[in-house]
């Protein structure tokens, strides 16, 4: 099979490698669509350094079951499926409390987080545990279906962790693909005023089209002043979905009494300071969110089935796997949103 193999930072090679065989409890998926996440981009470019080589990146897949191992009963060859990239044992204390993303035996297929990183989905076929596979509804095509993981992350961060309420005034800092999904989930959940903040006018145009009531570019205006002009009482919820530490600092500057804030987008080691007394008297509640779990995956599928979130509106570019390095160049551009790879095109 053809696979994109990262041999070193900035050295992503297309290679012909053997198709793996599924073992007991495993499923082999023929990948039809895979999203190109910023996490993948950071690994390839060396922006994040917790990478063991060789690595096959790609952790936002959907495809067709090509083969099943022993004891797999809920899917069969030929089924269209969505894959959760974070694998879990189902037996440890965290799994049994429903927090599979804390699993003590966790692994990821092509992603980030656990120590156990397995080959991902920038390849024609991929192995994964059967408990990470979900049936794809016929009403959702493969390009939309492969976005279940980031949509589920947005739902988990905004609704499950930060408990957004109908009518909340919400600020989303960073409107790349994950930020836009956060914005779409917030809109579907009944946000009042919904402000998108980004350095890219291209991304802000997308955010406006997908439901932002206001947009703010920090390069052009005093962000805090403009946001407080829009929301005189300050935001109820601030989501940092950008990544740079400057986005976290802006989030902190926006806090007022009772603000909930979610450190969502920053995934590399960074430091920022807090005034402990101020945070105490503000009763500002800090949340964070990483990864996904079965509850979030199922909720994301429901959102897409009911047309409350349509990932196809976020997709800006599509590439066959043979053009993965051209896709990498597009990922480095500010004039893109979600990039999709088609390994079997």
The verdict on 143 and 160 lying in the same domain is no
CATH value at residue 192 = 3.40.50.720
- Tell me the pLDDT band of 266, cut-offs 50, 70 and 90: confident
- Tell me the pLDDT band of 268, cut-offs 50, 70 and 90: confident
The verdict on 69 and 26 lying in the same domain is yes
**Residues 163-182, mean pLDDT to the nearest whole number:** 97
| Residue 305 placed within a domain | no
What pLDDT is attached to residue 46?
Answer: 95
Number of folded domains in the chain?
2
CATH value at residue 318 = 3.90.180.10
The verdict on 163 and 122 lying in the same domain is no
Helix 294-305 × helix 148-155 angle, to 10°: 110
What pLDDT is attached to residue 295?
Answer: 97
The verdict on 15 and 133 lying in the same domain is yes
pLDDT higher than threshold 90 for residue 267: no
| Residue 306 placed within a domain | no
What pLDDT is attached to residue 186?
Answer: 98
Distances (CA, A) of 277 to 87, 227, 238, 253, 257: 40, 24, 20, 15, 13
Distance (Å, whole) CA 223 – CA 82: 39
Q: What is the pLDDT of residues 219-255, one digit of tens each?
A: 999 999 999 999 999 999 999 999 899 999 999 999 9
The verdict on 176 and 204 lying in the same domain is yes
Q: What is the pLDDT of residues 77-106, one digit of tens each?
A: 999 999 999 999 999 999 999 999 999 999
pLDDT higher than threshold 90 for residue 117: yes
The verdict on 10 and 131 lying in the same domain is yes
Contact partners, residue 315, CB within 8 Å, separation at least 6: 143, 147, 337, 338, 339, 340
What pLDDT is attached to residue 158?
Answer: 97
What pLDDT is attached to residue 64?
Answer: 98
Q: What is the pLDDT of residues 142-154, one digit of tens each?
A: 999 999 999 999 9
Q: 165-197 burial, b for 16+ CB within 10 Å, e for fewer?
A: eeebbbbbbbbbbbbbbbbbbbbbbebebbbbb
What pLDDT is attached to residue 65?
Answer: 98
| Residue 206 placed within a domain | yes
The verdict on 231 and 324 lying in the same domain is no
The verdict on 35 and 124 lying in the same domain is yes
**Residues 192-218, mean pLDDT to the nearest whole number:** 97
Confirm if 287 and 260 have CB atoms less than 8 A apart. Answer: yes
What pLDDT is attached to residue 42?
Answer: 94
Strand pairing partners for 196?
172, 215
Which range of residues forms the domain containing residue 264? 155-288
| Residue 307 placed within a domain | no
Q: What is the pLDDT of residues 35-80, one digit of tens each?
A: 999 999 999 999 999 999 999 999 999 999 999 999 999 999 999 9
What pLDDT is attached to residue 170?
Answer: 98
Contact partners, residue 272, CB within 8 Å, separation at least 6: 245, 248, 249, 252
| Residue 300 placed within a domain | no
The verdict on 112 and 165 lying in the same domain is no
Number of Cα atoms under 13 Å in the Cβ half of residue 103: 23
Q: What is the pLDDT of residues 324-345, one digit of tens each?
A: 999 999 999 989 999 999 999 9
Q: What is the pTM of this model?
A: 0.96
């Amino acid at each position: 099979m053809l696979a994109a193999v990262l041999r070193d930072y900035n050295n992503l090679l297309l290679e012909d490698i053997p198709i793996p065989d599924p073992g007991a409890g495993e499923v082999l998926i023929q990948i039809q669509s895979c999203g190109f996440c910023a996490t993948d981009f950071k690994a390839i470019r060396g922006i994040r350094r917790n990478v063991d080589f060789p690595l096959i990146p790609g952790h936002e897949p959907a495809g067709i079951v090509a083969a099943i191992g022993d004891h797999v009963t809920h899917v069969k060859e030929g089924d269209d499926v969505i894959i959760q990239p974070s694998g879990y044992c189902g037996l440890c204390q965290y799994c049994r409390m429903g927090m599979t993303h804390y699993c003590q035996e966790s692994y990821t297929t092509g992603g980030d987080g656990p120590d156990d990183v397995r080959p991902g989905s920038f390849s024609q076929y991929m192995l994964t545990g059967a408990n990470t596979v979900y049936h794809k509804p016929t009403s959702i095509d493969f390009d939309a279906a492969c976005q279940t993981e980031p949509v589920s992350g947005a739902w988990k961060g905004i609704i499950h962790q930060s408990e957004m309420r109908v009518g909340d005034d919400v600020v989303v800092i960073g409107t790349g693909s994950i930020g836009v999904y956060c914005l779409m989930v917030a809109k579907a959940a009944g946000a009042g005023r919904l402000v998108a903040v980004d350095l890219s006018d291209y991304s802000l145009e997308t955010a406006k089209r997908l439901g932002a009531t206001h947009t703010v570019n920090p390069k052009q205006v005093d962000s805090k002043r403009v946001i407080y002009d829009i929301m005189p009482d300050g935001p109820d919820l601030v989501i940092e979905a950008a990544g740079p530490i400057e986005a976290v600092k802006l989030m902190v500057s926006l806090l007022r009494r009772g603000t909930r804030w979610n450190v969502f987008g920053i995934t590399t080691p960074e430091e920022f300071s807090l005034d402990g007394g101020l945070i105490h008297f503000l009763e500002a509640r800090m949340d964070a969110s990483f990864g996904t779990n079965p509850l979030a995956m199922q909720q994301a599928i429901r959102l897409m089935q009911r047309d409350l979130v349509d990932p196809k509106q976020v997709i800006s570019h599509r590439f066959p796997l043979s053009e993965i390095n051209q896709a990498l160049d597009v990922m480095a551009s500010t004039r893109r949103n979600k990039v999709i790879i088609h390994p079997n095109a």
